[in-house]
Amino acid sequence: MKPFAPAAVLVSAVLGLAAGTGCSPAPRNAGPLRATPYTAAPAPGGCPTAASLPLPRAFPAELPVPEGAVVTSVEHRTGGRLIVATVVRGGFDATLAFLHKQLPKAGYTPKDGEVEKDDAESTFSSTTVRGRWTLRKMPDCEGGVYLTYLTSAVS
């Protein structure tokens, strides 16, 4: 059976247009996609310059936060979950030591944590709160780290 000539011409025309106009699955000159982790605008050196947001009322009062932490964003999620993002200028090791020492002192039990060169994370819980913290070095802010808390009430 012979192919239908008009169909072959149509397919050739469409393929020719696609090749000639540069159609491809990815746009040309597309740079890498970059996530913006927080809403505070960084200074030219990468450190936040905006004033700290207040901790929300729903943030557990007894949950330790390093001195001088700048709250950069607050997000209320479904299920009573709360995300509080901060920037701490005390350095990665000092902030990690603070979390390891102060959370148990405040009645929180750490669980399933891990520490790598530039980031660390752990879950924690108390009789009333469960949560997770993450710690990540800031590449453009000397001594700066992102410290994020995710909390929710124990149900």
For the chain, what percent of residues have pLDDT higher than 90? 64
pLDDT at res. 1: 44
Could you read off the pLDDT of 56-103 as tens digits, one per residue? 999 999 999 999 999 999 999 999 999 999 999 999 999 999 999 999
pLDDT of 17 strictly over 70: no
Q: Walk me through the domains of the chain, giving residue ranges and CATH numbers.
A: 70-153 (3.30.530.20)
Length of the chain: 155
- State the SS3 of the chain: CCCCHHHHHHHHHHHHHHHHHCCCCCCCCCCCCCCCCCCCCECCCCCECCCCCCCCCCCCCCCCCCCCCEEEEEEECHHHCEEEEEEECCCHHHHHHHHHHHHHHCCCEEEEEEECCCEEEEEEECCCEEEEEEEEECCCCCCCEEEEEEEEECC
Mean pLDDT of the chain: 79
